[in-house]
Amino acid sequence: MSVRRLAEEQPESFEFTPENLEWAQQQIAKYPEGRAASAVISLLWRGQEQNDGWVSEPMIRCIGDLLGMPYIRVLEVATFYTMFNLAPRGKYLIQICKTTPCWLRGSDDVTDVVKRKLGVGPGKVTEDGLFSWMEVECLGACCNAPMIQINDDYYEDLDAARTEALLDAFARGETPAPGSQTGRRSSEPVGGLTSLTGSAGQTGGES
Amino acid sequence: MPKLTIDGTEVEVEPGASLLQACEAAGKEIPRFCYHERLSIAGNCRMCLIEVEGGPPKPVASCAMAAADDMVVHTDSPMVKKAREGVMEFLLANHPLDCPICDQGGECDLQDQAMAFGTDGSRFAENKRAVDDKNMGPLIKTEMTRCIHCTRCVRFTTEVAGIYDLGATGRGEDLEITTYLEKAVMSEMSGNVIDLCPVGALTSKPYAFTARPWELSKTETIDVMDAIGSSIRVDARGSEVMRILPRINDDVNEEWISDKTRFIWDGLRRQRLDTPYIREDGKLRKAGWGEALQRVAEKVKAAAPDRIAAVAGDLACAESMAALKDLWDALGSPHIDCRQDGAQLGGGERGDYLFTSTLSAIDTADALLLIGCNPRAEAAVFNARIVERSRLGGFAAASIGAPIDANFPCAQLGAGPATLRELIAGEHSFAKTLADAEQPMIIVGMGALARPDGAAVLSAAKQLAANVGATGVDVLHNAAARVGGLDLGLLPGEGGRDVAAIMQGAQAGEVDLVYLLGADEIDMNGLGDAFIVYQGSHGDAGAHRADVILPGAAYTEKNALWVNTEGRVQLGVRACFPPGEAREDWTILRALSDFVGHTLGYDDLSGLRARMIELAPHFTEIGTAGQAVAGAASEGAAMADTPFDLAIDDFYLTNPIARASAVMAECSALAQVAAQDKEATGTHG
């Protein structure tokens, strides 16, 4: 965690696209009269999606006006949640899990590769505009540690080489299949199944 | 009513009281930072931890837990002691040890409570956090590294001041109190966050590094910036007022004061009249008291009684007005008035010009109609009370008159008398709201009364009040002197001229001499060739036009009475002496009476006060708003169709002291820019 501020360079304005605006109105309608502020997180999230993945200052004002909320209240929410990026990001946002299970399984190696390949600090965008990266707390995929999240997908069971291959693939414009990068299915044991090996009806001799 | 045991003492508290309040009722001191009686409960500082038997085996935040029957509470157990020490160690982990250069030093909650409840050391060996200072405008100085995240300031601005400027961004250790994009806090009440801040994060910018609390002499007195008469404490060092703080007075200002009240003090040092002046060959020159009074006496004696007039200003104390009235009576002139703005009030029943239902009645009111009144500018502290009431719900407010920038939901019904007539006829939907309300309140301001048909407007308002079953009409004054002046009868006598007629007379050469007792708000160009005597404290409009200047005392420099808009007689106490040759105002008039050969019959303050009680018996009842009866609505008076104006254009510059203050000038300029921005973009915030 660090101090979260709005980016210094901001666009002139922000407006929801007609489709998003309609969606926003639907969100607002979910809440009772006078409680429109409850929709602030949904709207910020949709605004971030529309705005190439980051929340701008005009967007905060736009959402404040839409919800009848003081701007400072919207800013409070936007700065509280780290899932809202307050500065432009690369096309691919890499979130490296650094919490204990991933760290024990080698997230430092993964981080080193990302740092070396991208050549920019956390939160910064590579020159080609493709990548930016950040360290995050547990993303909840500890069985497949270490792992990273690239945009909306998890890439798991990484080591230095696999991370490098992954980044190269993205740089070439490919979209590698998400999930485990060693080929195992979801979070099944690495060495094959140790229980539930038989089919239904054949197990349960002991109990 | 819950009955519980606190440290072995049994206490009974109101239902819904918190454990913290119960502990206080039992006489136990509970340290706290975020908890404040008049704000919502946040429960985020954790300093008020206590032990409750039978509950979970951990300390309980007493501010956020309700007292219940049969609770057994300990405030002095080892668990509580350890908890307090732990919380204090956490709070101090990031708090800088800069007390020697901190303005809060000596009156800091954190300092005091660290001494009382903390330990002598810290186990925190890492680097302390540092936070960027924020811009919050010309009044609030920030040192955000000192902030302990109690959020009192955020809650105050939202809940009491009714503005949504302050907020807490980020989270955890990186939480920062800031305004949106670091704009100045735009509120007439913003200075109160300085008092609320339990540490030195928010301090007074004008007062910065000028004094320490222990070297100030503290005087409990009364404010005169508006007709509310907030209770204040004036802190002075020698002959200079260093700062002004609020005192608790639940009937009047709770514990808040407006920014004008708080930061006016630099105006008390500038533009002061510290010696008499006489105009010779078009230029003012310094003079002695004898010479100046002699010159005034010559002019007074030379003029026929019918050709002299007196006007009392908006800050004049009751004593000086009583002396002026007596002197004018003795001279035989009926031309005297205390209503610079031409308000059509006075003469009838006392209840006709008072805020009869008292200011605190708003706490229980459920409907409010403002007629030609903008409480935010005219009585900012009372406005905060409306905001608090409004926030609780079940409250409808509406306004007739020029559109006002209300910071509570307030419907704009119309611009003037036409709408008022509709309401009386019951043709307007808000008439039903008022009639259905259990305690409707109708407030009439100077925007509706300071016009030729003011009496008719007041009468119409009374008619409306009778129709909807309100107890009466409440008159909201904006001049501290006004009610006192009306009480003492500073009104034109038989055949006498009011302010407008005095000016007309002066212009037409029918009035030879005009005595201005601190009157600066009339158009000085409209006084023709009349000889002008100005008695007052500041070199403002009146002094510029004057032929003789008699230097008087400002409100912090005299023992004097003021009567607030409710009719509450309040005692002002001298905090320091007037500068140079300046004198207390009533003594100047007493001296002048000698020179003109009509010596007033009192030689000291008690003599004068006895005379005032003769004139108006309620001057004995200091501090209470006595019952006053209002007359009935009169028939036949017709209202003009012109819309009601705003009585005050610029909240920050309403009187000579404010106009002399650099801080007020800066605030005024900022407010104007903000108003223009608002007009330009048409958005809020």
HEC profile of B170-203: CCHHHCEEEEHHHCCCCCCCCCHHHHHCCCCCEE
Tell if the CB–CB gap between B179 and A72 is shorter than 8 Å: yes
User: Per-residue pLDDT tens for A48-103?
Assistant: 999 999 999 999 999 999 999 999 999 999 999 999 999 999 999 999 999 999 99
B656: enclosing H helix or E strand: helix B656-660
| A87 DSSP assignment | S
CA distance B164 to chain A (A): 6
- Count Cβ–Cβ pairs < 8 Å, chain A vs chain B: 47
Tell if the CB–CB gap between B180 and A71 is shorter than 8 Å: yes
- % pLDDT > 70, chain B: 99
CA of B165: which chain A residue's CA is closest?
A: A72
CA of A68: which chain B residue's CA is closest?
A: B684
Mean pLDDT of A126-135: 94
Between the alpha carbon of residue B249 and those of residues A58, B221, B360, B624, the distances in Å are: 44, 12, 11, 12
Tell if the CB–CB gap between A79 and B169 is shorter than 8 Å: yes
Count the alpha carbons within 13 Å of B600 in the hemisphere toward its beta carbon.
28
| Token duo for residue A120 | 């920019």
Tell if the CB–CB gap between B173 and A79 is shorter than 8 Å: no
If pLDDT is split at 50, 70 and 90, which confidence band does A206 have?
A: very low
User: Per-residue pLDDT tens for B186-235?
Assistant: 899 999 999 999 999 999 999 999 999 999 999 999 999 999 999 999 99
| Token duo for residue B157 | 């601005």
Chain B contact probe: residue of A12, A59, A63, A71 with most B CBs at under 10 A: A71
The more confident residue out of B328 and B54 is B328
If pLDDT is split at 50, 70 and 90, which confidence band does A190 have?
A: confident
Q: Report how far residue B202's alpha carbon sits from residue B205's, in angstroms, rounded to the nearest whole number.
A: 9
Strand-pair category, B283-286 with B411-414: unpaired
Strand-pair category, B231-237 with B217-222: antiparallel
Query: Out of B164, B170, B683, whose CB is closest to A4?
Result: B170
User: Per-residue pLDDT tens for A112-125?
Assistant: 999 999 999 999 99
Q: What angle do CA B548, B550, B552 make, to 5 degrees?
A: 155
Q: Does A72 touch chain B (CB under 8 A)?
A: yes
Query: Out of B164, B170, B174, whose CB is closest to A73?
Result: B164
Q: Which residues of B touch A73 (CB under 8 A)?
A: 164, 167
Write the ipTM.
0.89
CA of B166: which chain A residue's CA is closest?
A: A72
The per-residue pLDDT of chain A, averaged, comes to 92
CA of A84: which chain B residue's CA is closest?
A: B170
CA distance A85 to chain B (A): 13
Q: Does A4 touch chain B (CB under 8 A)?
A: yes
Chain A contact probe: residue of B180, B681, B683 with most A CBs at under 10 A: B180
Q: Report how far residue B335's alpha carbon sits from residue B514's, in angstroms, rounded to the nearest whole number.
A: 9
Query: Out of B169, B181, B685, whose CB is closest to A76?
Result: B169
Which residues 121-160 of A are in CB contact (within 8 Å) with B? none
Which residues of chain B are at the A interface, by a Cβ-Cβ cutoff of 8 Å? 164-174, 176, 178-181, 683-685
Q: Are B189 and B160 in contact (CB under 8 A)?
A: yes
If pLDDT is split at 50, 70 and 90, which confidence band does B632 have?
A: confident
Would the pLDDT of B281 be above 50? yes
Residue that the structure tokens 């990026």 belong to: A85
Q: Are B34 and B86 in contact (CB under 8 A)?
A: no
The torsion of the CA quartet B302, B305, B308, B312, rounded to 10 degrees, works out to 130
Q: Which residues of A touch B165 (CB under 8 A)?
A: 70, 72
User: Per-residue pLDDT tens for B421-465?
Assistant: 999 999 999 999 999 999 999 999 999 999 999 999 999 999 999
CA distance A49 to chain B (A): 21
The per-residue pLDDT of chain B, averaged, comes to 94
CA distance A59 to chain B (A): 14
Tell if the CB–CB gap between A2 and B174 is shorter than 8 Å: yes
| B47 DSSP assignment | T
User: Per-residue pLDDT tens for B524-533?
Assistant: 999 999 999 9
Mean pLDDT of B460-486: 94
The secondary structure of A22-69 as a DSSP string is: HHHHHHHHTS-TT-GGGGHHHHHHHHHHHTTT---HHHHHHHHHHHT-
Q: Does A3 touch chain B (CB under 8 A)?
A: yes
Q: Please state, as a whole number, how many other Cβ atoms lie within 10 Å of the Cβ of residue B143.
A: 21
CA distance A141 to chain B (A): 25
Q: Report how far residue B354's alpha carbon sits from residue B349's, in angstroms, rounded to the nearest whole number.
A: 10
Q: Which residues of B touch A57 (CB under 8 A)?
A: 181
Q: Which residues of A touch B176 (CB under 8 A)?
A: 3
Query: What is the Cα gyration radius of chain B?
Result: 27
Q: What is the pLDDT of residue B463?
A: 93
CA distance B646 to chain A (A): 27
Q: Report how far residue B4's alpha carbon sits from residue A106's, in angstroms, rounded to the nearest whole number.
A: 57
Q: Are B189 and B140 in contact (CB under 8 A)?
A: no
Taking phi over 0 as left and psi of -120 to 50 as alpha, with beta for the rest, B220 belongs to beta
Would the pLDDT of B330 be above 90? yes
Residue that the structure tokens 């070297």 belong to: B215
Long-range contacts for B210-215 (Cβ within 8 Å, ≥24 apart)?
B210/B242, B211/B235, B211/B237, B211/B242, B211/B243, B212/B105, B212/B106, B213/B106, B213/B107, B214/B106
Q: What is the pLDDT of residue A86?
A: 95
CA of B167: which chain A residue's CA is closest?
A: A72
Would the pLDDT of A207 be above 50? no
Tell if the CB–CB gap between B171 and A70 is shorter than 8 Å: no
Q: Provide the terminal-to-terminal Cα distance of chain A, rounded to the nearest Å.
A: 50
User: Per-residue pLDDT tens for B544-574?
Assistant: 999 999 999 999 999 999 999 999 999 999 9
Q: Which residues of B touch A6 (CB under 8 A)?
A: 181
Q: In terms of Cα–Cα distance, which of B651, B644, B643, B657 is closest to B672? A: B651
CA of B176: which chain A residue's CA is closest?
A: A3
Q: Which residues of B touch A61 (CB under 8 A)?
A: 683, 685
The torsion angles phi and psi of B308, rounded to 5 degrees, stand at: -120, 150
| B61 DSSP assignment | E
CA distance A64 to chain B (A): 10
CA distance A1 to chain B (A): 8
CA distance A83 to chain B (A): 12
Q: Does A75 touch chain B (CB under 8 A)?
A: yes
Tell if the CB–CB gap between A72 and B180 is shorter than 8 Å: yes
Q: Are B494 and B332 in contact (CB under 8 A)?
A: no
Q: Report how far residue A91's alpha carbon sits from residue A150's, in angstroms, rounded to the nearest whole number.
A: 10
CA distance A203 to chain B (A): 46
Q: What is the pLDDT of residue A194?
A: 84
Q: What is the pLDDT of residue B682?
A: 56
Q: What is the pLDDT of residue B499?
A: 96
Tell if the CB–CB gap between A1 and B169 is shorter than 8 Å: no
Query: Out of A3, A61, A75, whose CB is closest to B174?
Result: A3
Q: Please state, as a whole number, how many other Cβ atoms lie within 10 Å of the Cβ of residue B422.
A: 17
Q: Which residues of A touch B129 (CB under 8 A)?
A: none
Q: In terms of Cα–Cα distance, which of B250, B221, B222, B189 is closest to B481? A: B222
Q: In terms of Cα–Cα distance, which of B312, B306, B314 is closest to B335? A: B306
Chain B contact probe: residue of A1, A2, A3, A10 with most B CBs at under 10 A: A3
Chain A contact probe: residue of B144, B181, B182, B391 with most A CBs at under 10 A: B181
Query: Out of B165, B172, B179, whose CB is closest to A1?
Result: B172
If pLDDT is split at 50, 70 and 90, which confidence band does B636 have?
A: low
CA distance A125 to chain B (A): 22
The secondary structure of B464-500 as a DSSP string is: HHHHHT-S-EEEE---TTHHHHHHTT-S--TT---HH
Mean pLDDT of B575-596: 96
Q: What is the pLDDT of residue B685?
A: 41
- % pLDDT > 90, chain B: 92
